[in-house]
Every structure is written in structure tokens, then in C-alpha cells.
Chain A
Amino acid sequence: MAVDLDHIEDLVSVERGEIDRRIFSDEEIFEREMEQIFGRAWLFLCHESQLKKAGDFFEAPMGRDNVLVVRQKDGGLKAFLNTCMHRGNAVCRAEEGNTKVFMCTYHGWTYGLDGSLIGVPGLEQFYKNSIDRSEYGLKHVPQLDTYKGFVFATMDPTAPPLPEFLGATGRLGIELIAARGNMEVVPGIQKFVINCNWKFTVDNLFDWYHPSITHMSAFDSGILPGANPEMQDPTETIRPNGAATPDGTELSIPGGGAVDSVTVLGEYGHAIGGPKVTDRPGPFDNTWRERPEAREALGPVGMIVGGHPNIFPTAWIAVSVQLSLRVPLSPSQTEIWWFTFVDKSSPPEAQQMQVFMSNHVFGPAGILEQEDGENWTQSTKQTRGYASSKIPQILKMDLGEGKIIKEDGIARIEGATSEHGQLWTYGAWAAYMRGDSWDEIKAATTPGEFF
């Protein structure tokens, strides 16, 4: 059944906590996402530490466009589409590296580090000097900016400036990495493909209901510290309420569930969801927050936020000191890109420990993430059945009951594990998809009293 694109708001009901399954597989919806979300929102491209020397470049996705981010001779950054102005061939075929120029291998058109067209074979003999090179530089992204070393761009010249787009919530999300010290990206971006819709990969990061079940084997095997009884808060034990294994045994749910949680809801669709910071030892160290500079950068709300921020639409700041970019390829295919950070001012052993944790928790061979892909793949598949597609997906946990506390310019809900973060994201999704103006998107994503 075709989706009615004139009434996109009908596909997401924030009031009922219901989502139309077709948004996870419909081709027209995907095309509109490319235009209204990935063609407008500020998107994370890379981190400045990946581009140290003049000529260093990194290819980043913006929707289905490929953008080259390039360190300039004057130390600045530029970003332009990786497509020749002549016949469209990619002017660079490496994922990253260092270069003097970008030469198209089709006809030899050559561009400088700033994207300007500096060489055209046969300009006099064949073109009779009839084309003006200054008109055919590589197409720059309309807006490029950085925040604390995190490089973002938008394809929309009318988008609000980056600091405004990020707002207090997005900036706090970035501080949860940046405020740890002198942060640099570790060489090697893990990139892998999952046959699922990109939205599952995004909303899952707010989902602290799933780890105890999906990632049960990580806790059961003792490979993650959460399974150590001394590290479990007895109040975190999740009661099975009838849940059982296929042989009928009552499900024994290990620790790792976050009952005491805090969810931040931000303008333009950003959110942070997950457990409140506690003194209990866990896999991730929180002592870095106590440094005076970190304390100031985080503010009072940042000091208690222990979960995962998402910079809308697809940049997840993970507690493992990583940024996971979710890259939509098609309605049913998504790439995951993991950027891993270390504090270069910390002792080498601490940096090695950080890399060791990052290599083993997330990523396709990660102790946790091995299990995620199949959930999302199957959930995506079950949106295509004639009958299945008519069943709404539900996000009703603590629906409408979350009292919003406003402090330090940030809106948050405290309480047990909820689905507020996911639902907030889908509410914002609908506002972008309706084609709302930037002012309307901001108004639609300004938290009220309850959610």
C-alpha cells in the first residue's frame, strides 16, 4: 500500500506512541528522507585530527552524496562533492590519504586542494578556450563548520548556523567526547553494512530496554563487567513477568538494564538517553568528568548524563568514546562507521586500554554489537508483508508520563528506562519530512511540560 506523502504526520503518532511500519521500507519515503533530512540537516563528516597536514583528505557521506573534506595549505578546511564537473566521475577513489591535487581519471580534469579547476587537457586545442575554468570548480558544500574539532556540513544554505542547530543538547553530546581531554581519532574507521533501515540503527542507541535481552550472552559469559554480581545494583534487576526461554524456563535477566535513567530532549531532534551516572564501577570510566574543565564543559546536566547522545539524524556519540555514524544506502541497507577517540594527553597505557575496549565492545565482532544486526534486519524485513505492514510499531514506554525538567538550557526527563528518546527522534523525523521550515522544525522540537 502506497504511503500518502501529503500526510506524512499520520505515519508517526507521538500521542499514541505508534509508528507506521512502512517508513522502514517505502522507496518514496527514503527518497524524501534524502531530500528533507539528509539534504537539510547538519551532518557529521569527520574529526579535525584525521586531517593534520595540507592535502590530507577524508571521504565522507552526506546522504548518497560523497564529499571530500580536505585540509588546506592555510590550515583551514574545505569540503566539496567528489564528482568531476565534466562527466561526474569521482575525482578521488581512495577513502582517505594525502594528495597534491585531485585528478579525474576519465579525461584528466585536475582540481586543486581548494576544489578549483586548475587543469583541463586540450583546453586550447579542443575547447578553443571556450570554457571558463573558474566556473567549473568542484561543488562546495553550502555550509561547513566545526565544533570542538567535530566537522559538520549541510547541503542547505538556509540551515541555521551549526552552534544553533546543535543547541545545548547537541553541544553537550559532543562535549561527552571533547571534554575528556586532547581528543584525536584512532587510525582506522570500522565500516560495515547491515541489511536494515537506517532508523532502526539510530533509535536503538536510546534503547536501554534491549541490552539485557539482546546482549544477554555478553553478560552471561562474564566477558563484560556488568555480569559481575558486585557491580550490579540489585534495584536494576529486571523481572521477567512471564518471559521464558523456548524450553519454558523463566528468563533470568542479567544486569545491565538501566532503571535509573535520564533522557535529554533537544531542539532539531537531538536527544540523549540512558542511565544516570553512578559511582558503581562499570565497563566505562566516569572519573574524567571530575576534572574542573570537564565539569565546566558538561554543566550540571552533563554531569549526570550517562547514556548515548544522537546528533540528529545519524551521529551517535557512544559511551565507549566513539562516534558511530549511521549511513543510509537504501531503504533496506545501512552502513555503520565507527570513529574511535583517545585522549592524546593521557598515558599510553590508558590510550591502549581505550582502543582495546573500543575494539571489543562495538563493531561487527564486538561482544555487544554482534547481536544487533540480525534484530534490525528482521525488523526491517517484517515491514514489507501485506498484513505485517499494517501493524504499527509501538513506543509506549512511559508514554506521556515523562515530566520535563528544564535546567541549564536543557530539557530532561528522569525516571525508569523509557522510550522517550526514540519517540522524540520520530517526532522530529516527521517535522523534517513534512517539509517544515527551520523555524517550524525548531518549534515542533521544543520540549513542553510532559512527553
Chain B
Amino acid sequence: MSLDQDVHSDLDYEMHTQFEVERFLYREARLLDRKEFDQWLELFTDDVHYFMPLRRTRSKRELDQEFTQRGEMAWFDDNKMVLAGRVAKLATGTAWAEDPPSRTRHIITNVLVVEDRGDELDVDSNFLLYRTRLKSEEYTWIGSRQDTLRRVEGALKIAKRTILLEQTVLLSANLSNFF
């Protein structure tokens, strides 16, 4: 095999992985916007950590302390049980914050496979979550996600998701949606 062919096959592999990951993330976003939360929950491994830390306005020289760490306060610090609880809550018919339901659209971009360990992939992506409620309430959340995707029985699952929001004071009354 020549060197050229090696490079080619590496690129083919990366393109294949990129396609696989993007299709997975887009399908996930579609499940959320269609409010198919039971199916969405199945995309997570049982040991998942779903984490959105708090962010603080800090001076440049203290920027290493911008985000809270695991074990400190957070917007989301969920294991599979809590995620399942949130999905169950939305399904009760009495989750008033989502009745009438929010209209949401998840825009997922800048998908980048940062590291490919074979059985696990670290994937960064950017998101724009647009939500409207009732007659005229409008919210926009923009940020990045750092996912660890794991290959489980031939399918990708989310084993870890860290969501970094581009807000310090949260500019909304609640977070009744998923990111």
C-alpha cells in the first residue's frame, strides 16, 4: 500500500465518522424538537453525566475560574435517573411550564470529532436553541457542547455531555428544555 493510499483511507475513515456523528446529532435534535423524549432518552448510556455548569463573569486573569466544576452548583448536573425523571415529569400532563408546549428548534453546527479512541469519540458541537412560548415570549440560548459518544452494540450513545452556555446571569425564567 502506498503512502497516498494510507492518507486516502484515513480521510475516508474520518469523513465516514464525521458523517456518522453528524447524522447522530441531527437525529437527536430532531427527537427533541418533535418532543419524542422517550426515544431521546434511549440515546444516553446508563452512566451518562449531563452537565451544564454555571458561568461567572471573571476578570481575564481569573478566567480559569469562569465555570463551576462538578460537585459545585450547576444548571444541570444529571445522571440517567434524573434525566429519566425530567422526561417522566414532562409526560405527566401536569408540567404546566410546558403546557401549552414551548416551540423549540435546535440548530446544531460546527461538529468536530476532537478525539477518536475507537470505542469512544470526543465530539464538540455548537448549538442554538430557539424557544418561543405563549403569544410573544422568545428565548435564545447559544453555546457549545462537549460530548463523549460511545459505540454500544453498533450504535452511538451519549456517555457524557457538558453544555457551556454563553450566558452568566441566565436570561430566562426557567430551563424546561433539553440541550
Contacts and interface: CB of A to CB of B under 8 A. Distances in A.
Contacts of B78: 360
A202 to B, nearest CB: 16
Nearest to B65: A97
Contact of B170 (A97, A99, A191, A370): A191
B89 A217 contact: yes
Interface in B72-122: 72-78, 82, 85-86, 88-97
Dominant SS among interface residues on chain B: loop
Interface in B38-93: 52-54, 56-59, 62, 65, 68-69, 71-78, 82, 85-86, 88-93
Interface in B106-163: 133
A221 B59 contact: no
A188 interface: yes
B9 interface: no
Given A97-B59, A352-B71, A356-B77, A192 B170 contact: yes
Nearest to B90: A217
Given A192-B169, A373-B174, A365 B96 contact: no
A187 interface: yes
A122 to B, nearest CB: 25
Contacts of A360: 77-78, 82
Interface string B25-36: 000000000000
B92 A216 contact: yes
B68 A188 contact: yes
A111 interface: no
Interface string A164-204: 00000000000000000000001111111111100000000
Interface residues of B, number: 42
Nearest to B77: A359
A367 B83 CA distance: 11
A195 to B, nearest CB: 7
Contact of B54 (A94, A188, A358, A377): A188
A187 B89 contact: no
A221 B72 contact: no
Nearest to A327: B169
Given A194-B173, A223-B89, A365 B75 contact: yes
B85 A223 contact: yes
B7 interface: no
Contacts of A373: 97, 173-174
Interface centre among B72, B76, B89, B93 (most CB of A within 10 A): B89
Contacts of A187: 68-69, 72-73
B104 to A, nearest CB: 15
Interface string A204-226: 00000000001011101111000
A96 B58 contact: yes
Interface residues of A, number: 48
A370 B88 contact: no
A377 B173 CA distance: 9
Nearest to B95: A217
Nearest to A218: B89
B168 interface: yes
Nearest to A359: B77
A222 B174 contact: no
B175 A223 contact: no
A269 interface: no
A93 interface: yes
B173 A355 contact: no
B2 interface: no
Interface in A116-164: none
Given A193-B169, A221-B92, A96 B73 contact: no
A221 B170 contact: no
Contact of B88 (A190, A221, A352, A371): A221
Contacts of A110: none
Contact of A191 (B62, B89, B168): B168
Nearest to A340: B73
A245 B71 CA distance: 40
Contact of B94 (A193, A216, A363): A216
Contacts of A370: 95, 97, 174-176
A286 interface: no
B86 to A, nearest CB: 8
B172 interface: yes
Contacts of A97: 58-59, 62, 65
Contacts of B171: 192-193
A186 B54 CA distance: 12
Interface string A85-105: 000000001111111000000
B55 to A, nearest CB: 9
A97 B68 CA distance: 13
Contacts of B133: 374
Contact of B73 (A99, A190, A216): A190
A405 to B, nearest CB: 36
Interface string A221-251: 1110000000000000000000001000000
Interface of B: 52-54, 56-59, 62, 65, 68-69, 71-78, 82, 85-86, 88-97, 133, 168-176
Closest 3 CB pairs of A and B: A373-B173, A188-B73, A192-B170
23 contacts: A94-B56, A97-B62, A97-B65, A190-B73, A191-B169, A191-B170, A192-B169, A193-B170, A193-B171, A217-B93, A221-B88, A223-B88, A223-B89, A245-B93, A355-B72, A364-B75, A364-B172, A364-B174, A365-B174, A371-B97, A371-B174, A374-B173, A377-B173
Interface of A: 93-99, 186-196, 214, 216-218, 220-223, 245, 335, 338, 340, 352, 355-356, 358-360, 363-365, 367, 369-375, 377
